[in-house]
Structures are given as structure tokens and as C-alpha cells.
Amino acid sequence: MKACIVLLVLLSFCASAQKKIETAFGQSLGAVLPRDVKIIRTEVSNVEELKINGDIVIPTHKRKTVYFTPPKKFRKFQEYSLLITPKTSRIYTIRAEAKFRSDAEGKRELQILLAALEDVYNMTFRSDNGEDVQSFLSSSFEKNMIHVRYSSITCTLTLFYVDLKLKKIAELEGQDENMDSSML
């Protein structure tokens, strides 16, 4: 019985020691796009998926991306963007991207970034690696996760902070917009 109580106390301590994934680069997941954000440009694009044995490409939903200047840049990241829900303008993904001159430089920065994230959030990342793209996913906390992706082909490192519940809402809101425009 004492062993069970000790184990429960240790598990609750470990869970409370992990920092929540909520903010990055001056922006907060779930927040309405702030009026004071320094917007560089905004894009609305169709997200497409292959259907029917990969023969037909159809837009499944619209995605709204806001490129912005953060209050403080992080390491070698040059481009920052927010994915926001089409109707309510709530932030569901915070993204940063860095491009490198060489694969060796990019892979060094990837290792530095993963170590920093593991330290700050007290977590480990599971690897889902392909031949040319390395992908690392955090365990999700309640509803948020971190995704790190590195491409050896383009020497590009991308960091995503994602609100998983809002992402689903954004996809549904984007589907509604596709249906509305297709009825014209």
C-alpha cells in the first residue's frame, strides 16, 4: 500500500514539474489574434488531400496563416507564423522556421533545439524519421503538443506549437468556408 502511495506522489510530482505548452515567441495558443501583433503578411490557402486511390486532389479545408515579427527572435529562426481559425481568429499553431547553408549546420541546430525543449518542458521527444525528413513529436499535454521537423533536402528546421483541439475546430471552420464558396 505504501508503495502505491509513493508511486502516485512521484507521478503527480513529475506531471506537475512539466511546463505547460501554452506560449511561444510572444504568442499564446488559444488566444484571439492580438491587435498589437506585427503582421508581415496574411495568406489563405486550401489544404488538399488525395482521395480515391490518390487519383483526385480535392481541397478539404481552408487555412489562414499570419506571418509576424516576434518581440524577440529565437536563435537562428528567421520566419515566424501563426495558423488561426478561419472564423474566430484563435491561434491554434505557432510556427518558426530556420534555413541553413549546410545539412551539418542544420542537424547541429536540431540537436541544440531538442535539448533545449527537453530541458524547458521536462519531456522527451519520440522520433518519426524518414529518409530525408526527421520528425520529432512531444507527448501531448492535455491538448497541446510540440512538433519539430528537419529536412535534409532543404536544410530547413521547423518548430510547431500546436493546440490539437483548436486545430480540429479550424479544419471544421475551414470546411464550412469551402462549402459556402462552392455553392456560388
Contacts of residue 108, Cβ cutoff 8 Å, sequence gap at least 6: none
Q: What is the pLDDT of residues 110-121, one digit of tens each?
A: 999 999 998 888
* Separation CA 147–CA 88 (nearest Å): 24
d(CA 155, CA 172): 33
- Grid look-up 514539474 returns 17
Rounded Cα–Cα distance for residues 167 and 91 (Å): 9
Residue ranges per structural domain of the chain: 24-178
Q: How far apart are CA 9 and CA 29, in angstroms?
A: 30
Q: Quick check: 133 and 150 in contact, CB under 8 A? A: yes
Q: Encode pLDDT of 91-135 as tens digits.
A: 999 999 999 999 999 999 999 999 999 888 887 777 777 666 777
Distance CA 120, CA 20 (A): 10
pTM, two decimals, is 0.76
Cβ pair 128, 135 in contact under 8 A = yes
